[in-house]
Amino acid sequence: MKKILTAFLCVVMIVSVTACGGIGGKKSQCRPGLNTAFSVNAVIRYDDKEYNAAVMRYSVGNWDVTFSSPNTLSGVLLAFRGDQVDASYKGLSFSVPKTALPLKSMIINLIDAVDSAAGEDSIECSEDGELMLIDGENEQGKYVLKLNKNGELAGFSMPNLNMEMTFTDFAPGQSEPPASSEAATEVATDTETTVSSDSESVETSDKTDSE
């Protein structure tokens, strides 16, 4: 009986170890190639909707995201500067559009994850084919940061929020944003600006005189 029980426990342990290895994948140390300025093209799938954007990382907490689709956001630039997020359209600044509010939160999650990984010389990851997966967690839940074999940004997902980002065309970028994305073009004082696309619009009063 003891021999049978011992054999049974050995089988259970082997199955458990194999299962754990299958879930987490092969663990190793990877070197993120993110501690630099870069640009990527992004496809963002969130809540059964799809968005396309060009993403620029200049430095820690210093990013630009320019949407090309859907039509309700096409041409809208979200400039992330530390804790501040500004929106603009063709040089005119306004409040972040309602259609972009959930995306703003998702992009902040991405920025925090990338900037955190960028500060590490090496970080634990698991392998999934040609991708290296870095697991993390923030106030909104668990996330997976995906890098290619060169340590370049390839994807970002938060399963509990039904959000997936895929990145392509990783390329070196510039360390400072262009002047056009630093501030909106000057417009007349108290001019009411309306930015509309399809059936949705954003209205705001721009005050660009010195205060």
Rounded Cα distance between 184 and 57, Å, is: 19
pLDDT at 25: 63
pLDDT at 141: 95
Dump pLDDT digits (tens) for 166-175: 999 999 999 8
Domain boundaries, the chain: 27-175
Give 179's pLDDT tier (boundaries 50, 70, 90): confident
Dump pLDDT digits (tens) for 32-72: 999 999 999 999 999 889 999 999 999 999 999 999 999 99
Which backbone phi and psi does 127 adopt, to 5 degrees? -95, 140
pLDDT at 21: 38
pLDDT at 22 over 60: no
CB-based contacts of 27-31 (< 8 A; 24+ apart in sequence): 27/124, 27/125, 27/126, 28/124, 28/125, 28/126, 28/127, 28/132, 29/122, 29/123, 29/124, 29/125, 30/122, 30/123, 30/124, 30/125, 30/132, 30/134, 30/147, 30/151, 31/121, 31/122, 31/123, 31/151
The pTM of this model reads 0.74
**Going by CATH, does the domain composed of 27-175 fall within 2.60.40.10?**
no
Rounded Cα distance between 208 and 189, Å, is: 6
| Rounded percentage of the chain residues whose pLDDT exceeds 90 | 61
pLDDT at 15 over 80: no
List, in sequence order, the alpha helices (H) in the chain.
2-24, 101-118, 179-182
Cβ neighbours for 95, distance < 8 A, ≥ 6 positions apart: 87, 202, 204
